[in-house]
């Protein structure tokens, strides 16, 4: 198996609904997103997946979030905009296009949530 990772970031605000504590108030993060792709075989020139393609597709999804209040976006009106739910949303969007094995979202340098399907290779 081969595994590649691509990282990007965005800045956005959110508030956690039904949370008791300071995060119930609107606040912002400089979010970091990591996408992991696992591939069994390389192509004829020795590439698993083109890093540039993955970066472009990830940035296309993240531009929906950048400098927005996540609570105001359609999906997050129904789903609490936690790091966990962001990771799942990004995973589901990318999985339609790429063989994604996991998506991680950092809301701070020391706080990360990762989403992957049970049974998916995850190192």
Distances in Å between the Cα of 18 and the Cα atoms of 15, 26, 49, 67, 82 are 10, 13, 40, 23, 12
Structure tokens at 27: 């606040």
Give the architecture (CATH level 2) of 2-115: 2-Layer Sandwich (3.30)
pLDDT, tens only, 38-68: 999 999 999 999 999 999 999 999 999 999 9
67 carries an active-site annotation? yes
Whole-model pTM? 0.92
Of the residues 24, 27, 60, 67, only one is catalytic, namely: 67
Residues of the chain with confidence (pLDDT) below 70 = 119-123
Of the residues 5, 23, 60, 122, only one is catalytic, namely: 23
Q: Where are the domains of the chain?
A: 2-115
């Amino acid at each position: 198996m081969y595994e590649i990772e691509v990282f990007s970031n965005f800045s956005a605000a959110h508030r956690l609904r039904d949370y008791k504590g300071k995060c119930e108030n609107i606040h912002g993060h400089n979010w970091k997103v990591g996408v992991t792709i696992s591939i069994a075989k390389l192509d004829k020139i020795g590439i698993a997946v083109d890093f540039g393609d993955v970066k472009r597709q990830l940035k296309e999804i993240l531009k929906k979030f950048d400098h927005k209040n996540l609570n105001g976006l359609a999906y997050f009106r129904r789903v609490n905009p936690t790091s966990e739910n962001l990771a799942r949303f990004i995973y589901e969007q990318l999985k339609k296009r790429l063989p994604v094995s996991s998506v991680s979202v950092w809301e701070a340098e020391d706080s990360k949530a990762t989403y992957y399907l049970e049974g998916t290779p995850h190192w």
